[in-house]
Amino acid sequence: MAAIKQVLTIAGSDSGGGAGIQADIKTFQELGVFGTSAITVVTAQNTCGVHGVYPMPVGAVKAQIDAIGADFAIKAVKTGMLFDAEIIAETAAGIERHGWHNLVVDPVMIAKGGATLLQEEALEAMRTLLLPLSAVITPNIPEAEMLSGMEIHDAADRKRAAEAILAFGAKAVVIKGGHANNPLIAEDYCLDQNGESFVLRSVRIQTQQTHGTGCTFSAALTAELAKGQTLPEALVTAKRFIQAALTHQLHIGAGHGPTNHAAFRQFTTEGDVQFVQ
């Protein structure tokens, strides 16, 4: 029997279970890969907001990464909440030391409730240390604006911002459309270093149950890359996964509830996502 594909998430813990490490591991499990983790930060968090942020000592981050590197055949890695420049530097050094490829960088910066998940002075470390190692980076619109230093109001702005982000060395960028103003469509835009681009479109689901959408999407992308899918194939599955997770809601908690990670396996999603070149 072929060994199950092994993946690593280097990210923060969300006590509420909808985002961060918890969302990543659930998504990995649903997509049939074996998830391992290196926890960067512990957050005290629920559907109503972030109540506390407790960074791990960098030595603990390094020790977790090296324990995984010593024993697992990691096929893809994703990063999530990294919080400060020291943790970013340790993460980048670990990825290089272990020669890991298929790096998905989810540049987590601000939680839906407004809490800071990345210190402002860490932005430069993300640009210079992590982006050059990444196969793909998946900013939402505010994150793409921060990374590129440009405002995004329309598709032309989005393309210019994507080009600016690629200039930091990422092989591809996906600017996710969850924060766009379009009330009907949720559209993600992908551009790679060869100038190839496409968009992924779905119906926008009218819901408050959106906590952890970005983590879940990037974890699904990581799982599919580990299984050997091409970037466009992996992105289509990730978009179908999050569409199902948003459609079949769980209604947990009083605030922004978590998405339903089990929905993709339970419900048909064929045709829910349009790939437009």
Ligand X SMILES: Cc1ncc(COP(=O)(O)OP(=O)(O)O)c(N)n1
Three-class SS state of 176: coil
Catalytic choice (17, 18, 215, 259):
215
Taking the chain, what is the end-to-end CA distance rounded to the nearest angstrom?
38
Tokens of 268: 């048909």
Q: Which stretch binds ligand ADP (CB under 6 A): 36-44, 57-65, 206-214, 221-229?
A: 206-214
Q: Is 212 in the site for ligand X (CB under 6 A)?
A: yes
Exactly one of 27, 43, 213, 269 is catalytic; which is it?
213
> Contact region for ligand ADP (CB under 6 A) — 60-68, 89-97, 221-229, 235-243?
235-243
213 is an active site residue: yes
Distance CA(247)–CA(204), nearest Å, equals: 9
Identify whether 18 is a catalytic site residue. no
- Pairing outcome for strands 6-14 and 74-79: parallel
Sole residue written with tokens 């949720």 = 186
Question: Is 6 or 27 the residue whose CB approaches ligand X more closely?
Answer: 27
Contact 92, 133 (CB under 8 A): yes
CB of 216 to ligand ADP, least distance (A): 8
- Given the residues 62, 78, 112, 176, the one annotated as active site: 176
Task: Report the partner that residue 205 touches, choosing among ligand X, ligand ADP, none (CB closer than 5 to 8 A by kind).
Answer: ligand ADP
Whole-Å CA distances, 219 to 79, 171, 246: 9, 18, 15
Q: Taking CB under 6 A as the rule, does residue 176 contact ligand ADP? A: yes
CA pair distance 80, 40, nearest whole angstrom: 9
Question: For residue 9, which of 31, 26, 24, 29 has the smallest C-alpha distance?
Answer: 24
Q: Is 257 a catalytic residue?
A: no
Catalytic member of 16, 80, 212, 257: 212
Asked if 177 is an active-site residue, the reply is: no
Quick note: the x/- pattern for ligand X over 240-259, rule CB under 6 A, is: ----------------x---
Euclidean distance between CA atoms 124 and 120, whole angstroms = 9
DSSP at 262 = T
Residue 214 annotated to the active site: yes
Q: Does residue 117 belong to the site contacting ligand X (CB under 6 A)?
A: yes
Q: Which residues bind ligand ADP (CB under 6 A)?
A: 140, 176-179, 186, 188, 202, 204-205, 210, 213-214, 217, 239, 242-243, 246
Q: Which residues are catalytic?
A: 176, 210, 212-215
